[in-house]
Amino acid sequence: MATSLKNLSAYDAADVPDASALSIGIVVADWNIEINNQLLKGAVDTLRKHGVSDANIFISRVPGAFELTYGCKTLAESYEVDAVIAIGTVIQGETPHFNFICQGVTYGISELNLSFEIPFIFGVLTVNSLEQAQDRAGGKHGNKGVEAAVTAIKMALLS
């Protein structure tokens, strides 16, 4: 697994452009809220670190991962943002539900990227266990929220 070789929070801050002129939207799923709140914290802290002011960080919440696509679309239509980060966690269960949710969210975020003139960042964990989610939300593999925020900054400033 690629993540086992990389800490998601490890990056060279010098490689991240100044983001003080950016506005960033974040849509967070309430399902698996403990994990998602850690991902959100990682994202917000990283955006602040690179100059995004609190007044330019717009956060919306949706019930679950499947609703992230609509939440992202609504946020992008409601605020003038330079990028939107989707944050959620889908944990494998005993039924195929996991596959349907993961496929739907992945497709939805991809479609938003093609439909809007701003980037939508996939900050969704798709894991086999709660332990794997914890490892990627501030645990031994860092925080996927940090990675999503860095990606949002770089993509928003892509020329």
Active-site residue 97, yes or no?
yes
Q: Which residues contact 42 (CB under 8 A, 6 or more apart)?
A: 9, 137, 138, 143, 144, 145, 146, 148, 149
Residue in 33, 97, 110, 115 annotated catalytic? 97
Is 23 within 8 Å of 79 (Cβ atoms)?
A: yes
Evaluate the CA torsion angle 15, 19, 23, 26 in order and state its sign.
positive
Q: Which residues are catalytic?
A: 97
